[in-house]
């Protein structure tokens, strides 16, 4: 199907049963939409396609809605969300859902997987980019600091991390989220996570020698 951004709320409301993660899902909607609409070369049959990893895998309704908007899924499949025999679980499964690159939901794994994928693609001579979307609270997982340090020192210039910041982290970081990356050699952008033009500019940017983080600020999570 061919859909517009305005069609996404109706697509998302077709999925019920995981309402406790509504805020987690909607916080990612604009980033995922801009990625698939304007940034990613995501042909699943192309070995040199760009990769998108949803590390923030809980509450995947926005992800599924965008995949449906771009023809990876049908609206009818969205109606089966969470059913026993559905391909659309409460966490995305790469073996079941077309277009999904990693199975996710347990936080703290996506950035390390993305860094490793960027290394592997580079060794293969591919210029494909790797994008990984994380939540701000997910950065409290210790595995992420190792991935941040490694990517910076390895100069993984094809790697972009997007941190959706809805102020749900209980710990925070001195100097803000971006400083957590820049101290390890990343370049950083802070943007309004609902501003599609700003997201498009930031996600389309990069550096020939360093990984890139985009901190996308959205409204504070209240539940």
Please report the domains of the chain, with CATH numbers, ordered by start residue.
5-217 (3.40.50.970)
- Average pLDDT over the chain reads 92
- Provide the total of helices (H) and of strands (E) in the chain, helices listed first: 8, 5
Q: Given a cut of 70, is residue 222 above it in pLDDT? A: no
Residue 22's pLDDT is 79
Q: Does position 173 have pLDDT exceeding 80, yes or no?
A: no
In the chain, % of residues over pLDDT 70? 97
pLDDT digits (tens, 9 = 90+) for 195-219: 999 999 999 987 788 999 999 999 9
In this structure, what are the phi and psi dihedrals at residue 213, rounded to the nearest 5 degrees?
-120, 135
CA pair distance 174, 17, nearest whole angstrom: 37
Q: Which one-letter DSSP state was computed for residue 221?
A: P
pLDDT > 90? residue 170:
no
Q: Do 133 and 105 contact (CB within 8 A), yes or no?
A: no
pTM reported for the whole predicted model: 0.94
With cut-offs at 50, 70 and 90, classify the pLDDT of residue 97.
very high
Model pLDDT, residue 19: 80
Residue 101 has pLDDT above 90, yes or no: yes
């Amino acid at each position: 199907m061919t859909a517009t951004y305005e069609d996404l709320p109706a697509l998302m409301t077709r999925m019920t049963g995981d309402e406790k993660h509504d805020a987690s899902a909607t916080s990612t909607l604009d980033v995922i939409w801009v990625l698939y609409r304007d940034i990613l070369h995501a042909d699943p049959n192309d070995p040199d396609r760009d990769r998108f990893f949803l590390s923030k895998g809980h509450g995947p309704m926005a992800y599924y809605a965008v995949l449906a908007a771009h023809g990876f899924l049908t609206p009818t499949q969205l109606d089966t969300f969470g059913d026993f025999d559905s391909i659309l679980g409460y966490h995305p499964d790469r073996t079941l859902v077309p277009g999904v690159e990693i199975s996710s939901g347990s936080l703290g794994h996506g950035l390390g997987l993305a860094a490793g994928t960027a290394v592997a693609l580079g060794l293969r001579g591919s210029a494909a980019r790797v994008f990984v979307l994380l939540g701000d609270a997910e950065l409290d997982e210790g595995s992420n600091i190792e991935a941040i340090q490694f990517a910076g020192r390895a100069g993984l210039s094809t790697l972009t991390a997007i941190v959706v910041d809805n102020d749900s982290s209980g710990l925070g970081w001195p100097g803000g989220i971006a400083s957590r990356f820049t101290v390890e050699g990343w370049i950083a952008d802070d943007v309004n996570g609902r501003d599609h033009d700003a997201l498009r500019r930031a996600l389309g940017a990069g550096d020939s020698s360093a990984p890139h983080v985009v901190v996308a600020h959205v409204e504070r999570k209240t539940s």
